[in-house]
Structure 1
Amino acid sequence: MPEPALPERAARAALAAHFAPDQVAADLADYSPAEVWQRRLRRDNSGRLAQYKPREELDNATLTCPFVIHSDEVWPTALADLGPHCPLGLWVRGDDQLPQLTACSVAVTGNRNATEQAITRTHAFAAAIAEAGHTVTATLAYGVDSAAHRAVAQAGRATLAVLPRGLDRAHPHDHAQLLSSIPADGGAVVSLYRPGTAASGATLQASARLLAALARAVILIEALDHAEATRIAESALALKRPLLAAPP
């Protein structure tokens, strides 16, 4: 008896585990995700794809967090602006909050080794953004980004975080409590990468693009000497998102 067709969610998760979105975008324009997976499987001479069990891998990964795909009601429509780089899916903690969080998202980012003055400005900007009804969006990085999350939490509002690794661990690792507190307080944490994936230069680059795409605008606070904040700014410009530098 032939094996049942691979469900779309499992097929997308399998493709996302092995390929960047732009590597399969052309195929997905003509074939279903399950068909694209089978075509790639047949052409794989390394045996790497044959060893991967899409259904089992998805079941195990969703013990940590759900995998959200394009057909889900909570899928952020702004990601269509990424074109061929549009994610195959998102791993999410707090997925039920995504629509309202991404509807009015403003990214706040900046130096990781931030000055005391920058942290003070971050608290003021983040609190004002939240008070105006927008969602503060940032990484969990040291300095400006994590300060933005904490300022909004102190104001009793929810935030959105983007991680460059699987959501089974924080990045940086010692921000595990912050990772847990965001969905617990009504926010959400998203990643392009399945649980167990470590951060790398490639994941940082792709996550910077994702953060910029999820935001309606990007605010830089003391962001002159950190590569990740620069990547986010460059992505914002490429996506035609307003880019604002906080005054010193």
Structure 2
Amino acid sequence: MSGSVSHEERLARAALTGVIEPGDELMGRQLARLGAERVWRALERDEPLPEVSAGRWAGLRLRAERATPGPDLEEMARCGGRLVCPGDWEWPGQLDDLGETRPVALWARGGCSLRFVALRSVSLVGARACTDYGGHMASELGAALAERGWTVISGAAYGIDGAAHRGALAVAGPTVAVLACGLDVAYPAGHRELLSRIAESGLLVSELPPGERPTRGRFVQRNRVIAALSRGTVVVEAALRSGSLITARRAAGLGRHLMAVPGPVTSGLSAGAHRLIRQEATLVGGADEVIELVGDMGEVADTEAGPVVPRDLLGETAGRVLDALPASGAVTVAEVARGACMAADTALARLLELGSLGFVEHVGDRWQLRHCHGRHALPSVSHVGAGA
């Protein structure tokens, strides 16, 4: 294990991950004041800490009695896992923004460095019972972000989470799943194969030691880690009471970029995302727009343009001549020159060019639009020279 954390510190934090619930502010203050070793030693010796009530202390002691930090560390090592502690080289410094609710430590499984992959990362969250549209957008965003070198972070749940992870995996990109249970617990059960794939090419991360089961409160607290790890959070699809909105509020509270993908106004699963857009989130429709917000200076979205039609390829003067021709019927060069407000010889030169490109045709001493093409006729070359 790399880093500057001592073996005793690591053992203490391993034990405390099974004693202290994720997001416990009171115990977080104790850890910040006393350090993990002293807190764990107090629990072992039944020496109550200040501010902790007798009832609370009794509950912590019951958990401490069943803590097995040594075996837990050995078990994780056998399956390619480890405990990442504050002070380790692999510890992501952005988690310190959580203050007193900072994780005691993080159990991790996978070959990637958590600190490294989290440097350029985006969280994608949303509804579990998502629509086909939501699943498609999450998958597309996950793949496009991963192709651009960004790590996709989510919670491995059904719906948007799973689609985002699969999108990143489809292009062999890194992805991190933050779980609300021990890393040896396949939850949800239907994502057992997906979790294995994430562990092979990305990372599984949890605040909880092996064997711990998910609870409602742990899902809620898991969201703060998802929000803190990344530079920004994208809500892909969410109802008004979606749990993903908790992640969104956490991200905004931490000063992270908050984004949301719009959906059909007739869909209840888009109502939460639309409310975020009205209140505080930035509307995004693709990976480029996400990266423009969370990326480094100079990483801007490509300017979107409508489809190019042949008329767009003409120079200004040629365009004015083309506009001077009526929709039907033929006119003289003088009439074209008057309509385009230019000299007759200039108008004739442009008419000859337009004729060679197939936009117009010469009928006696008059000119007219080619009837088979009209004003948006297909040119025979890819561009018109500067003189046009």
**Scaled by the length of structure 2, what TM-score is found?**
0.59
Q: Is the Cα–Cα contact under 8 Å of residues 165 and 197 in structure 1 kept in the other structure?
A: yes
Q: Structure 1, residues 96-153: CA drift from partner, whole Å, max 9, x if none?
A: 4212210011001111111111112122222221222211111111111101111111
Alpha-carbon RMSD = 2.1
* Structure index of larger Rg: 2
Measured after TM superposition, the shift of residue 209 of structure 1 is 0.6
- Does the alignment pair 1:9 with 2:10? yes
Residues 1-150 of structure 1: pairs in structure 2 closer than 5 A: 7-20=8-21, 21-41=24-44, 42=46, 43=48, 48=62, 49-64=64-79, 65-94=81-110, 96-150=112-166
Amino acid in structure 1 at the alignment position of 2:215: S
Aligned equivalents of 1:51 and 1:139: distance in 2?
Answer: 28
Q: Is the Cα–Cα contact under 8 Å of residues 73 and 82 in structure 2 kept in the other structure?
A: no
Structure 2 counterpart SS, 1:149:
helix
2:215 to 181, 191, 200: 200
Aligned equivalents of 1:17 and 1:184: distance in 2?
Answer: 25
Q: List alignment gaps of at least 5 residues for structure 2.
A: 1-5, 49-56, 264-388
- Does the alignment pair 1:232 with 2:235? no
Over 3 Å counting, the alpha-carbon distance change for 1:238 and 1:210 in structure 2 is: same
Residue 169 (structure 1) aligns with: 185
Over 3 Å counting, the alpha-carbon distance change for 1:22 and 1:113 in structure 2 is: same
Amino acid in structure 1 at the alignment position of 2:125: T
Aligned equivalents of 2:131 and 2:105: distance in 1?
Answer: 36
Which range is displaced more, 9-18 or 223-232? 223-232
Q: Structure 1, residues 150-194: CA drift from partner, whole Å, max 9, x if none?
A: 111111212111111111022211101111111212x11101111
Over 3 Å counting, the alpha-carbon distance change for 1:33 and 1:218 in structure 2 is: same
Count residues in correspondence. 243
Aligned equivalents of 2:26 and 2:111: distance in 1?
Answer: 26
Amino acid in structure 2 at the alignment position of 1:19: I
Amino acid in structure 2 at the alignment position of 1:89: A
Measured after TM superposition, the shift of residue 95 of structure 1 is 5.6
Q: Structure 1, residues 195-244: CA drift from partner, whole Å, max 9, x if none?
A: 11111011101101110011110011111255321221121122121111
Aligned equivalents of 2:109 and 2:236: distance in 1?
Answer: 27
2:236 to 221, 224, 228: 221
Measured after TM superposition, the shift of residue 35 of structure 1 is 1.3
Q: Is the Cα–Cα contact under 8 Å of residues 130 and 136 in structure 1 kept in the other structure?
A: yes
Amino acid in structure 2 at the alignment position of 1:217: G
Over 3 Å counting, the alpha-carbon distance change for 1:225 and 1:112 in structure 2 is: farther
Q: Is the Cα–Cα contact under 8 Å of residues 164 and 204 in structure 1 kept in the other structure?
A: yes
Measured after TM superposition, the shift of residue 92 of structure 1 is 0.4
Structure 2 counterpart SS, 1:107:
strand
Q: Is the Cα–Cα contact under 8 Å of residues 111 and 200 in structure 2 kept in the other structure?
A: no
Q: Is the Cα–Cα contact under 8 Å of residues 74 and 96 in structure 1 kept in the other structure?
A: no
Aligned equivalents of 1:57 and 1:97: distance in 2?
Answer: 20
Percent identity of equivalent pairs? 33
Structure 1 counterpart SS, 2:11:
helix
Residue 245 (structure 1) aligns with: 260
Amino acid in structure 2 at the alignment position of 1:241: R
Q: List alignment gaps of at least 5 residues for structure 1.
A: none
Over 3 Å counting, the alpha-carbon distance change for 1:140 and 1:50 in structure 2 is: closer
Aligned equivalents of 1:50 and 1:125: distance in 2?
Answer: 45
Aligned equivalents of 2:150 and 2:68: distance in 1?
Answer: 40
